[in-house]
């Protein structure tokens, strides 16, 4: 087979693939238009912090607390998991991203006996206090919601059709005005990515803590019928210069020092 035949074959494959994908996407119910809930909102009995993954030892979860919906420490009118984190300077690119794995449970009495899952989507709040222990002012901060691949344990970003998403009513926001609110989202409703920027706000200086409040919806099918619990993953990213840039900066910094010393 020569290059021309191969090119024709690839073009044919592309033409065949596009309409099939489009038809597939249109046929599935989309998060943009979630079906109205009919029953009562399930009670969130507990939110547990399972583990910190990815990243490196520059990220630490210093505390995790669960507050029931009526607790004064719960926010946005939702049962709330409150996470405190510190982020230091990364030494490799792995330190730029990290995952928080959470487990959410509802009371056994509120599970549908025939499915072992809640009757309606579960709503919960997450408070995230993130202390900037890096040397850099954060000008943006990013969150992505997803799950663990059951087989490989890899992070799988939530898609448009799984009905797991960040709630937009009430809108996610910072509590202190260090970033612009609301964050930019990959979609106007049911986003799976939240992107905070400091275009009209100061950003987060070294030594400062930024306070995020956000809501999450978990659909019934994400609950494991064996345990009645759901596991979700919050992937985070604060903008810190990449280690290669850090080396360059350190190098140009020492070059600058040398110049100054020579002048002096």
- C-beta of 92: minimal distance to Ca ion in Å? 30
Positions touching Ca ion (CB under 5 A) are 31, 158, 160, 162, 164-165, 190, 192
- C-beta of 180: minimal distance to Ca ion in Å? 21
Looking at beta carbons only, is 45 or 186 nearer to Ca ion? Answer: 186
Looking at beta carbons only, is 82 or 158 nearer to Ca ion? Answer: 158
Looking at beta carbons only, is 74 or 102 nearer to Ca ion? Answer: 102
Looking at beta carbons only, is 29 or 107 nearer to Ca ion? Answer: 29
CA distance 73 to 89: 30
φ and ψ at residue 156, rounded to 5 degrees: -120, 120
- C-beta of 191: minimal distance to Ca ion in Å? 6
- C-beta of 124: minimal distance to Ca ion in Å? 15
- C-beta of 157: minimal distance to Ca ion in Å? 8
Looking at beta carbons only, is 160 or 181 nearer to Ca ion? Answer: 160
- Closest chain position to Ca ion (CB): 158
């Amino acid at each position: 087979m020569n290059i021309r035949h191969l090119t024709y074959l690839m073009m044919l494959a592309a033409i065949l693939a596009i309409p099939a994908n489009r038809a597939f996407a249109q046929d599935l119910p989309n998060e943009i238009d979630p079906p109205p809930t009919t029953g009562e909102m399930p009670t969130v009995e507990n939110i547990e912090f399972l583990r910190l993954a990815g990243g490196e030892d520059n990220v630490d979860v210093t505390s995790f607390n669960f507050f029931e919906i009526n607790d004064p420490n719960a926010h946005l009118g939702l049962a709330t998991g409150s996470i405190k984190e510190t982020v230091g300077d990364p030494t490799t690119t792995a330190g730029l991203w990290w995952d928080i794995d959470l487990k959410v449970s509802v009371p056994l009495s509120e599970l549908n006996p025939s499915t072992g899952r809640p009757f309606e989507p579960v709503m919960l709040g997450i408070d995230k206090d993130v202390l900037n222990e890096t040397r850099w002012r954060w000008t943006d901060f990013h969150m992505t919601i997803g799950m663990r691949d059951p087989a490989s344990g890899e992070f799988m970003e939530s898609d448009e059709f799984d009905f797991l998403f960040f709630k937009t009513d009430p809108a996610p926001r910072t509590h202190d005005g260090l970033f612009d609110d609301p964050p930019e989202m990959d979609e106007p409703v049911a986003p799976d990515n939240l992107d905070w920027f400091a275009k009209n706000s100061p950003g987060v200086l070294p030594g400062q803590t930024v306070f995020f409040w956000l809501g999450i919806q978990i659909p019934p099918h994400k609950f494991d019928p064996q345990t009645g619990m759901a596991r979700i993953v919050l992937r985070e990213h604060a903008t810190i210069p990449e280690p290669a840039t850090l080396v360059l900066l350190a190098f140009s910094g020492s070059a600058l020092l040398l110049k100054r010393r020579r002048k002096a």
